[in-house]
Chain A
Amino acid sequence: MIDVLVIGGGNAALCAALMAREAGASVLLLEAAPREWRGGNSMHTRNLRCMHDAPQDVLVDAYPEEEFWQDLLKVTGGATDEKLARLVIRESSTCRPWMRRHGVRFQPSLSGALHTARTNAFFMGGGKALINAYYRSAEALGVRIRYNAPVQRLELNDRRFVAAYVGEERIEARSCVLAAGGFESNREWLHDAWGQNAAGEWPADNFLIRGTRFNTGALLRFMMDAGADMVGDPTQAHMVAIDARAPLYDGGICTRIDCVSLGVVVNRDAQRFYDEGEDFWPKRYAIWGRLVAQQPGQVAYSIIDAKAVGRFMPPVFPGTKANSLPELARALGLDEARFMQTMRAYNDACRPGSFNHTVLDDCMTVGLAPSKTHWARPIDTPPFFGYVLRPGVTFTYLGLKVDETAAVRFGGEPCPNLFVAGEMMAGNVLGKGYTAGVGMSIGTAFGRIAGSQAARAALEEREYEAA
Chain B
Amino acid sequence: MKQLEALTIEASALARGEATVIPVYPLGASEAEVGRILQICNACRYCEGYCAVFPAMTRRLEFGKADIHYLANLCHNCGACLHACQYAPPHEFAVNVPRSMAKVRLNTYSDYAWPSSLGALYKRNGLVVALALVLGFTLFMAIATAATGTLWGHRTFYEIFPHNLLVALFSPVFIFAALALGMGVSRFWRQQEPGPPSAEALGEAAHDALTLKYLDGGNGEGCNNEDDAFTHSRRRFHHLTFYGFFLCFAATSVATLYHYAMGWHAPYDLVSLPKLLGISGGISLMAGTGGLFYLNLRRHPLQRDPEQKPMDRGFISLLFFTAATGLMLVLARGSAVLPLVLCAHLGCVMALFATMPYGKFAHGIFRCAALLKWSIERRQPNRLQLGDD
With contacts A107-B48, A128-B83 known, what are 16 further pairs, Cβ within 8 A? A37-B90, A112-B386, A124-B50, A125-B80, A125-B81, A125-B218, A132-B83, A132-B84, A253-B44, A256-B389, A258-B389, A282-B389, A310-B383, A313-B386, A316-B39, A358-B387
Chain A interface residues toward B at CB < 8 A: 36-37, 43-44, 46, 105, 107-108, 110-115, 122-129, 132, 136, 247, 250, 252-256, 258, 261-262, 280-282, 285, 309-316, 318, 357-358
The answer, yes or no, to whether B18 is at the interface (CB within 8 Å) is no
Contact B49 A252 (CB under 8 A): no
User: Scoring B residues 222 to 235 as 1 if CB is less than 8 Å from chain A, else 0, what string do you get?
Assistant: 00000011000000
Q: Which residues of B contact A262 (CB under 8 A)?
A: 387
Measured CA separation A260–B196 after assembly (Å): 40
B86 lies within 8 A of chain A by Cβ:
yes
In the complex, what's the smallest C-beta–C-beta distance from A317 to chain B, in angstroms?
A: 8
Contact partners of A252 in chain B: CB under 8 A: 44, 86-87
Is B92 in the interface zone, CB < 8 Å from A?
yes
Question: Does B46 count as interface, using CB distance less than 8 angstroms?
Answer: yes
Task: Name 27 interchain pairs, CB-CB below 8 A, sorted by A.
Answer: A107-B49, A111-B55, A112-B45, A112-B386, A112-B389, A125-B49, A125-B80, A125-B81, A125-B218, A126-B44, A126-B84, A127-B86, A129-B46, A132-B84, A132-B228, A136-B228, A247-B93, A250-B91, A256-B389, A282-B388, A310-B386, A313-B43, A314-B39, A314-B386, A315-B43, A357-B387, A358-B388
On B, residues with C-beta under 8 Å from A are: 1, 39-40, 42-50, 55, 58, 61, 80-81, 83-87, 89-93, 218-219, 221, 228-229, 383-389
The 5 A-B residue pairs with the shortest CB-CB distance, nearest first, are A126-B46, A125-B84, A107-B49, A254-B43, A129-B84
Contact B385 A310 (CB under 8 A): yes
CB proximity of A134 to chain B, nearest CB, Å:
11
Cross-interface CB contact of B388 among A108, A115, A123, A128, cutoff 8 Å: A115
The CA of A281 and the CA of B90, in the complex, are separated in Å by 32
A125 near B47: Cβ-Cβ < 8 Å = yes
A167–chain B nearest beta-carbon distance, Å: 23
Task: Determine whether the beta carbon of A111 is less than 8 Å from that of B386.
Answer: yes
Indicate if the CB atoms of A112 and B388 lie closer than 8 Å. Answer: yes
Complex contacts, B229 vs chain A, CB 8 Å: 136
By beta carbon, the residue of chain A nearest B47 is A125
Complex Cα–Cα for A256 and B388 (A):
13
In the assembled complex, the CB of B6 is this many whole angstroms from the nearest CB of chain A, namely 15
Residues of A within 8 A of B221 (CB): 105
B389 touches A313 (CB 8 A): yes
- In whole angstroms, what is the CA distance A112 to B45 when docked? 9
Residues of A within 8 A of B89 (CB): 36
CA distance A253 to B45 in the complex (A): 9
Q: Which residues of the other chain, B, contact A127 by a CB distance below 8 angstroms? A: 46, 86
A128 touches B85 (CB 8 A): yes
